[in-house]
Amino acid sequence: MNWRGWIKVALAMFVFAALHGAGAIAESIPTSFDARFEQSMEEAGLEFERMLLPLDCSKAPDEPRLVDSILVHFCSDAMENPDSPYDTRRIVDGFRRFRVSAHVLIDREGKVIQMVSLDRTAYHAGVGRIEGAPERENRLNEYSIGIELMGIGTRSEMSPFMEVERYDTIDPKDLGYTDPQYDALNRVIASIRRLFPEIGRDRRSIFGHDEWSPGRKTDPGALFDWERIGLRRYRGESGDSR
């Protein structure tokens, strides 16, 4: 990051302290990992904002993390506001209320919002397992970066969260994912892989919450096109599309 970038960080820290008190800023200082990530977002031409969640939404690892996976999710405020499901502050507040998190959130226009420092363990995967990695069972948070896309799944995928009648009031343009999101996701994945080179560019390393915990989770769901990020649709298929 150049000197202008560091000035921006310092100003943000000063404003945060003025609004929330000195104790709060101690929980919200970006790390060197975060500075490198922000710089890569700037170099990629992506709009970036840092909205770090409180520390009780994540945890500091006992030792530097071995990160070898990316877990893809969807999120929205459709359950409470189906007519306006993508208000960023309401969505971030939802993570805060439930004390869960992901490292990165990508909005409908492709803006990247960082919610957790990349060297911290976010609470995003929960219980689950993935074929070929028995040591990860119920422990994926420790080994992964969580990426949330603002998106809404199919009627059946959303049925655990909302009534069908309420789902049917959602504007069809708010379903699935947008072109700017796919573009941003590709760039975010490339940046994260530079920071964590153990992450492969394949479906062994990059997969969905619904694959980690089938039957319990439905995101990112059938409307997410894995081929738009250069990967096979199904994790069991051999090879990748690039």
From the CB of residue 53, how many other CB atoms can be counted at a distance below 10 Å? 24
Residues 6 or more apart whose CB falls under 8 angstroms from that of 176 comprise 151, 152, 153, 223, 224
Structure tokens at 151: 């998106």
Structure tokens at 42: 């700037």
Query: Is 198 assigned a catalytic role?
Result: no
Q: What's the CA gap between 240 and 242, in Å, rounded?
A: 5
Q: What's the CA gap between 178 and 202, in Å, rounded?
A: 22
Q: What's the CA gap between 95 and 150, in Å, rounded?
A: 13
Task: Please return the burial class of 57, using the count of CB atoms within 10 Å of its CB with bins 0-12, 13-18 and 19+.
Answer: buried
Strands 121-122 and 58-59: antiparallel
Taking phi first (over 0 means left), then psi (-120 to 50 degrees means alpha), and beta for anything else, what does residue 179 get?
alpha
Structure tokens at 108: 């409908």
Q: Of these residues, 148, 157, 198, 237, which one is catalytic?
A: 148
Catalytic residues, which ones?
148
